[in-house]
Structure formats: structure tokens, C-alpha cells
Amino acid sequence: MALPDLKRTATEARLAELTMPVGGCLAEARRAALSRVQTMGLPGRRDEYWKYTRPETLVQSTAPKAAVFVHDEAPIFENFDCLKIVFVDGVFDVEASDNLKLEGVQIDRLSDLVTQDIHWAKDLYGVLEARGQDPVFRPLAALNTAFADDGVAIRVTGKPSKPINLIYNHNAEESDGMLHHVIRVESGAEATVLENGPAAARFNKCSEIDIADGGALHMICAQGRDHERRAATHLFARLGKDSVFKCFTLTVNGVLTRNETVVELLGDDAIVHVAGACVGDGDFHHDDTVFITHVGENCESRQVFKKVLRNGATGVFQGKILVKASAQKTDGYQISQALMLDDDSQFLAKPELEIYADDVACSHGSTSGAIDEEALFYLQSRGVPHKDATNLLTLAFLAEAVDEIGNPDIVETIVSRLESWLIRRL
């Protein structure tokens, strides 16, 4: 079917500004992704999964300007012993990055695949993104697969002694970063990946994650922090038998952030937890869109999202649990909640369940409301100042999502960063 004129024109204009990396073992996957973009067209407000978020600045030909991030506090994971991989405006920074050698993991730059045939990465690149286009089109992810020329290929073969920290720095006001990561966790292997930083004025990131039987991956991402960037991130994960995938995203302000997470639980007894906490003020617009498909038996999925909004900020949650007929004994849980600190902000939610199995335990819920005045009064009556009492209740509200991380040291770091933001802004 032909694209509508406006969508076709916008798509052609964006594609005309981009240059596809040539050659290498990813060429075929890139051409297939480009074909998907041309067939789907870039997103518009008439698209069902974009009706709550305006995609114009994410698809226009040139990136909007964004003030360079001012580092008025240390990077969030600065005190952790990690293997650091640094990107600046979407480009790998060799000097700032550590040596990519770490026992239990093989790490290569995506750009190396132009000259090297890294078979496992070639076999994964673009595959999960393509699978994730059905039943919902995700054209910005396909655009990334076609044109991203940097990123990392991470193959976890053991249990590395420390996390891998992907740091995204922003130096140029007019920067258009596009990164693509592929991660393969082998059977019985386990790793932690951290992500943080403002990245670029406009940022498009795609991660494809394949977890083999008995493998485990933990991902924690911290983004935003009073930054003007526009970002669209896409995460596609495929889980084998007895595998575990847990990911958490902290978002603190940012003009526009759209996080899409697509997970398939193919093997029996697999577990996925997807969680997020965000605090937004003023022009902030944050959209979490999650689609989890249960195929294997006796699998567990959790979606836990909490948003704190004030001064006209907007929070969006679109979450779906799809249970195939084969996925008996599925345990699916989904909750999205917003704490509204004024009457000007808005929370838009679209929770969904689609179930074709008859032996399942699935639930979903979405609520929004003001701060508990009785609890606020109680704290103030015990001598806690109004601002401090508000901060305490706000942190308590976010706790369910933050606790999904599981690692006490990382939880403490995330809570500390939230506290510092609340002290400055509320």
C-alpha cells in the first residue's frame, strides 16, 4: 500500500540527509532495514502508537539545537568499578574509553564489522528489530538499523568481574547521534550493563539483546538530567529457557524522550522485569512504550513504571502483555502510576492485555493522583518541613520501580541522584 503524501515526503526528506555505511558483513541487513523504513514511512501523529507523543523533531531532516550539558555533578556511575566505553555525540571516543578486554566477555566496535566478519554479531544485527516490527511498526528502529555506524557488539561468555558502563557524552549543540548495540549472552553467562549520559542533541539508539538458555543480563540506564535533548531509544530482547532479563531506566527531565521496549519470552521458565522511574518538570515529555510477548510456558514478566510530574510536564505509558496460546502458566504483571504535583501536568496511559492461553495469572493497572495530603500533614506535624516531606513522599512513591533493580549499591546511587534533583527542583 502506498504511503500517504505527507508521510512519504517526510520520509524521503529524512532519508536524503543520511548516508548508509558501505560494505562489510552488515550490508544486507542495512538494505533490508532501509526497505522497511520506505515501506512503513516515518512515524506521524496519526499512527496509533504515536498519538500521545509528537514525533516531528525525531523525524525532521535536521536535528534541533540543544544546549551542551553542563557537568555540575559527577557522572552517576563514576564511583563504580566498571569497564568504560565512551561515545561523544554518537561517536566512539577511543582515548576516553578503557581497553575493551575483560575476562568473560568479548567486545567489538560496530564499525569494526565493516572490515571484520564477526559471525555472531552479523547473525543478530537487525534480526530482533525486524521481528519487533510485527504487529506494531517501529520505523525509527529500522532507520537506526539502516544508518547507525557506531555502537558495540558485546558477547558475554562467562561472568565478568565488573559491569560494562556505556557513557554517552554530548559536546556539540547541533549533533545527531545514532548508535546500535548488539548483545549476546551465552548459556549460563551473566553480566551487568550500565548506560548514562545526555548523548546528543538528537539521539536514536537501538539495542538488540539475545539471551541464551540459562543466561542473565541486568541493564540500568540513567538519562536526561535537565538536558534539552530529544531521544528515541529502542530495545529488542529475546529470551531462551530459564533466562533472566532485568532492565531499569531512570529519566530526569529532557525535552522529549521516547523509550520503546520489545521482549519475547520464547523459552520456558524465562523471566523479564522492565521498570522505569522518571521525574519531569515544565516542558518535559516522557513516553515509555512496552510490548512483551509470552510464548514459552511458566514465564514471568513484570512492568513497573512510576512518573512524578509537575509544572505542565507530560508522562506517557503504553504497555502491552501478549500471551500466546502456547504460553500456559504465564505470570504477567503491569503497573503504571503517576504522581501529579500540580494541576497543569498530564499522564496518558494505555495498558493492554491480550491473552490466548487459559491457565494464566495476568493483571494490569494504571492510576494517577495528587500527593497524599494526610501523609503530608502527618510528616509536617512531626516537624518535617513541607519541602522535605514532599520529597520523602515522592521518593517513597518511586521506590517500587527503583527496587526492581535488585542491586543495593545501584539502588542507593539512583536514590541519591533522585534526592539531589528533588532538592534543586521541588
Q: Which domain holds residue 66?
A: 5-370
Whether residue 77 is contained in a domain is answered as: yes
Instruction: Tell me what pLDDT residue 413 has.
Output: 94
Indicate the Cα dihedral angle 243, 248, 254, 257, nearest 10°: 30
Q: How many residues are listed for the chain in this entry? A: 426
Q: Look at 32-41, 54-63, 185-194, 278-287 and tell me which has the smallest mean pLDDT.
A: 54-63
Query: pLDDT-based confidence at 12, cuts 50/70/90?
Result: confident
Whether residue 413 is contained in a domain is answered as: no
Tell whether the model's pLDDT for residue 394 goes beyond 70.
yes
Whether residue 133 is contained in a domain is answered as: yes
Q: Look at 21-30, 268-277, 343-352, 370-379 and tell me which has the smallest mean pLDDT.
A: 21-30
For residues 60-81, average pLDDT: 77
What is the 3 state secondary structure string of the chain?
A: CCCCHHHHHHHHHHHHCCCCCCCCCCHHHHHHHHHHHHHHCCCCCCCHHHCCCCCHHHHCCCCCCCCCCCCCCCCCCCCCCCEEEEEECCEECCCCCCCCEECCEEEEEHHHHHCCCCHHHHHHCCHHHHHCCCCCCCHHHHHHHHHCCECEEEEECCCCCCCEEEEEECCCCCCEEEEEEEEEECCCCEEEEEEECCCCCEEEEEEEEEECCCCEEEEEEEEECCCCCEEEEEEEEEECCCCEEEEEEEEECCCEEEEEEEEEECCCCCEEEEEEEEEEECCCEEEEEEEEEECCCCCEEEEEEEEEEECCCEEEEEEEEEECCCCCCEEEEEEEEEEECCCCCEEEEEEEEEECCCCEEEEEEEEEECCCHHHHHHHHHCCCCHHHHHHHHHHHHHHHHHHHHCCHHHHHHHHHHHHHHHHHHC
For β-strands 164-169 and 271-281, DSSP reports them as unpaired
Structural domain count, the chain: 1
Tell whether the model's pLDDT for residue 224 goes beyond 80.
no
Whether residue 414 is contained in a domain is answered as: no
pLDDT in tens, 86-135: 999 999 999 999 999 999 999 999 988 777 778 899 999 999 999 999 99
For residues 318-345, average pLDDT: 97
Q: Look at 151-155, 218-222, 268-272, 279-283 and tell me which has the smallest mean pLDDT.
A: 279-283
- The residue with greater pLDDT, 12 or 260, is 260
Tell whether the model's pLDDT for residue 5 goes beyond 60.
yes
Cell numbers at 380, concatenated:
509536617
Instruction: Tell me what pLDDT residue 13 has.
Output: 86
Supply φ then ψ for residue 148, to 5 degrees: -60, 130
Cell numbers at 101, concatenated:
578486554
High-pLDDT (> 70) share of the chain, %: 96
Cell numbers at 363, concatenated:
493483571
Whether residue 265 is contained in a domain is answered as: yes
pLDDT winner (highest mean) among 46-50, 203-207, 221-225: 203-207
High-pLDDT (> 90) share of the chain, %: 75
Strands across the sheet containing 152-156? 101-102, 105-109, 152-156, 176-185, 202-211, 230-239, 256-265, 285-294, 314-323, 346-355
- Residues 229 and 201 sit within 8 Å (Cβ to Cβ): yes
- The residue with greater pLDDT, 301 or 252, is 301
For residues 64-93, average pLDDT: 83
Query: pLDDT-based confidence at 69, cuts 50/70/90?
Result: low
Whether residue 135 is contained in a domain is answered as: yes
- Residues 179 and 153 sit within 8 Å (Cβ to Cβ): no
User: Cell 539545537 sits at which residue?
Assistant: 65
Query: pLDDT-based confidence at 173, cuts 50/70/90?
Result: confident
Tell whether the model's pLDDT for residue 225 goes beyond 90.
no
Instruction: Tell me what pLDDT residue 253 has.
Output: 75
Query: pLDDT-based confidence at 71, cuts 50/70/90?
Result: low
pTM, rounded to two decimals: 0.95
Cell numbers at 131, concatenated:
521481528
Whether residue 272 is contained in a domain is answered as: yes
pLDDT in tens, 177-200: 999 999 999 999 999 999 998 888
For residues 129-151, average pLDDT: 95
**Distance between CA atoms of 335 and 317, rounded to whole angstroms?**
10
Whether residue 354 is contained in a domain is answered as: yes
Tell whether the model's pLDDT for residue 246 goes beyond 90.
yes
